[in-house]
Structure 1
Amino acid sequence: MKLSILVLITSLAVALSIGLVNYHFQQSWYYLLISFGVSFFTCFIVFYYLLEKYIYSKIVLIYKLIHNLKLGKDLKDALGEYVSSDPINDVEQEVKEWAGAKKREIEVLKKQEQFRREFLSNVSHEFKTPLFAIQGYIETLQDCIVDDPDMAVKFLKKAGNNVERLSYLINDLDSISKLETGEIPINYVKFDFVMLAKEVMELLEDKARSRGITLSFKEKYTHPAFVRADREKIRQVMVNLIENSLKYGRERGSTAIKIFELHDQYLIEVTDDGIGIDEKHLPRLFERFYRIDTHRSREEGGTGLGLAIVKHILEAHQQIISVRSTLQIGTTFAFTLEKIG
């Protein structure tokens, strides 16, 4: 319908122009009407044919392809179905939406590419550091193994420590990879989270005492809190979060575990009163090898994969983890678990 109106208006404009030119030279209304009528009829037929065959039909085809392919249909279905009575206007909207979607996809791909480059750089750095150290210790060991056996033993132990660090790195990377692909199954069982938290606190009590940090469990939440999850993996989550709070907590400070009962979940929080984290770092905190303070992180040890493993374990449980922090006040990690009666 709109195509006919467009052709009609165009034909009228051309025919009127030709009629006026003819009148200018002939000074006759008769010839004006004749030229106007012939021009209008001819233009209407020609324009309608050209627009229909070479423009409108192509727009219809483009619209059908864009619209149907966006819906996930294959090429045959996309070509065989007409879905709009006004494709000229609709195709503009479809193209805008598609262009916006492609722009967002490109932005995501750029971020992924940046993440890939950073990840490869971090992996390379994390592996090179202990490898170069091992190489240096072995070379020194070869020189002093006969002349200075005590020094040789010392360097041998240092090389062994770096081998152990490499082993931790490989195991952690392997764990993350298997969690992502689902190769590590989640063994759901019913257990009391309160008892698990107390076990982890006892496990890390000596490490906390060495830094003068007090581990506490809020008394009002010490009644049983039964959850459905993989007990050993949630144990790993708690160990990683509490160890993280001990590394970056304030000496002679405190780390507290809190449990909040929701409708069908428990919300667990691990809170410290340490140095805190700048807001700009929070979105990337769970990335592999992401370190806020590289120098201090290396002094404290660890692979830089602890929080990434925590995130992947909870995502495998279809649960979420979040973090909030204020500089010089402290940090809180919070995650959910399925509540079960």
Structure 2
Amino acid sequence: MDMIWGMITIVLLLLVLFQRHRYKQQQANLLYAHTKLKAITDQRTEEKLLLQTEDIHLKALLNEINRLLEHNQKTAASYYQMEISIRKMLSNISHDLRTPLTVVLGYLEVILNDPELTRQEVDVLLAKVHNKSIEVLHLMKKFFDLVKLESGDHEIEISKIDVSEICQANILAFYDILTARDIEVVIDIPDDRPCLAYGNEEELHRILNNLLSNAIQYGSEGHVVGLSVYRHNKHIGIDIWDRGQGIGEKHQDRVFERMYTLEDSRNRLYQGSGLGLTITKRLVEKMGGTISVTSTPYQKTVFTVMLKSYA
């Protein structure tokens, strides 16, 4: 009997010691997690909490903490990129406003300080002042358009639109400019039945105007600009293409970013402000569509707009 009680006492003692060891291990793990988490937060590193433990509840807690850390790190990186983008945008806008305004002031100083100018010479300078002022107004309009689009203040009414008809009208509007520059025009628009899609006629005109202007400005070296309309599954596709200088592979994923203005990219449609393709992308997305680009320089550069088919 004494032996039995002795064995029971030993088992209970071992159990107490095991529980005490386990408690100390849990305390050590929690202290490590607290210290490591504080260091990651204070130093803003991209580390994770790594801990060897058999405690399934502690493992689950660590997994959720690591998910939260990853989310926080992505949010911080996104915020940092946004700050860079905003600073770059303000710098570019400031530069693009300062340049024409400096020219305007220069012309006005000549007019004010040179009494020997003839009326004809004054009129020429005033015409230049007028043109530069219009340039500034256009740039400011593009900037505020982008602000409204990104803030959600620009509501677009979606309805049934005839994509074929709108595309025909736009390519015809550019036809004289294209032929004057000795650029071949290739049009492929189905005439068997209308290509109807969900969208907004006015905004699609703006999108096509931006993309065609871009193709002419940067693709004229290839001496051909094309526009195709086609049906693809439940979408209506629009391709605007050229065989000009194209877009390098490293820029294709970023060409629609706000204020992306590397010299060899093509997102400099509006006096280097980097607003043109960004506005185009936002307008397409507002209509529930997508826009993408593929490019092989001096072979073919294609901007593709996809809108949801109406029927």
The answer to which structure has the higher helix fraction is: 1
C-alpha contact 1:134 1:162 (8 A) present in aligned 2: yes
C-alpha contact 1:194 1:223 (8 A) present in aligned 2: no
Instruction: Between the two structures, name the one with larger relative contact order (CA 8 Å, sep ≥ 6).
Output: 2
C-alpha contact 2:85 2:258 (8 A) present in aligned 1: no
Larger Rg: 1
The residue correspondences of 1:153-172 to structure 2 (distance < 5 A) are: 153-172=123-142
The change in CA–CA distance for 1:49 and 1:200 in structure 2 (over 3 A counts) is closer
User: Aligned match of 1:205 in 175, 180, 185?
Assistant: 175
Structure 1, 99-108 or 201-210: larger mean CA deviation: 99-108
The residue correspondences of 1:104-115 to structure 2 (distance < 5 A) are: 104-115=74-85
The equivalent of 2:223 in structure 1 is 253
The equivalent of 1:217 in structure 2 is 187
The change in CA–CA distance for 1:276 and 1:295 in structure 2 (over 3 A counts) is closer
CA apart distance, 1:146: 5.2
The change in CA–CA distance for 1:287 and 1:296 in structure 2 (over 3 A counts) is closer
The change in CA–CA distance for 1:239 and 1:190 in structure 2 (over 3 A counts) is same
Q: Secondary structure at the match of 1:249?
A: helix
Distance 1:233 1:323 in 2: 19
Q: Secondary structure at the match of 1:250?
A: helix
Q: Secondary structure at the match of 1:290?
A: coil
The change in CA–CA distance for 1:55 and 1:194 in structure 2 (over 3 A counts) is same
CA apart distance, 1:169: 0.8
CA apart distance, 1:307: 1.1
C-alpha contact 1:178 1:184 (8 A) present in aligned 2: yes
Would you say 1:47 and 2:20 are equivalent positions?
Answer: yes
The equivalent of 1:12 in structure 2 is none
Give the structure-1-normalised TM-score.
0.72
Q: Percent identity?
A: 24
Structure 1, 179-188 or 194-203: larger mean CA deviation: 179-188
C-alpha contact 1:221 1:258 (8 A) present in aligned 2: no
The equivalent of 1:119 in structure 2 is 89
Would you say 1:192 and 2:162 are equivalent positions?
Answer: yes
C-alpha contact 1:240 1:307 (8 A) present in aligned 2: yes
Per-residue CA deviation, residues 190-213 of structure 1 (Å, 9 max, x unaligned), is: 232111111111111121122111
The change in CA–CA distance for 1:156 and 1:303 in structure 2 (over 3 A counts) is farther
The change in CA–CA distance for 1:289 and 1:114 in structure 2 (over 3 A counts) is closer
C-alpha contact 1:172 1:305 (8 A) present in aligned 2: yes
Structure 2, gaps ≥5 residues long:
1-5, 35-54
The equivalent of 2:280 in structure 1 is 310
CA apart distance, 1:251: 4.0
Would you say 1:102 and 2:72 are equivalent positions?
Answer: yes
Q: Secondary structure at the match of 1:323?
A: strand
Q: Secondary structure at the match of 1:285?
A: coil
The one-letter code sitting in structure 1 at the alignment partner of 2:282 is: H
Distance 1:86 1:100 in 2: 21
Distance 1:123 1:245 in 2: 23
C-alpha contact 1:144 1:151 (8 A) present in aligned 2: no
The one-letter code sitting in structure 1 at the alignment partner of 2:77 is: E
Per-residue CA deviation, residues 11-60 of structure 1 (Å, 9 max, x unaligned), is: xxxxxxxxxxxxxxxxxxxxxx99x95994796499389659x949979x
CA apart distance, 1:302: 7.5
Distance 2:186 2:268 in 1: 27
Give the structure-2-normalised TM-score.
0.78
C-alpha contact 1:168 1:303 (8 A) present in aligned 2: no
The one-letter code sitting in structure 2 at the alignment partner of 1:193 is: V
Distance 2:20 2:105 in 1: 81
Count of residue correspondences: 284
C-alpha contact 2:196 2:310 (8 A) present in aligned 1: yes
C-alpha contact 2:222 2:244 (8 A) present in aligned 1: no
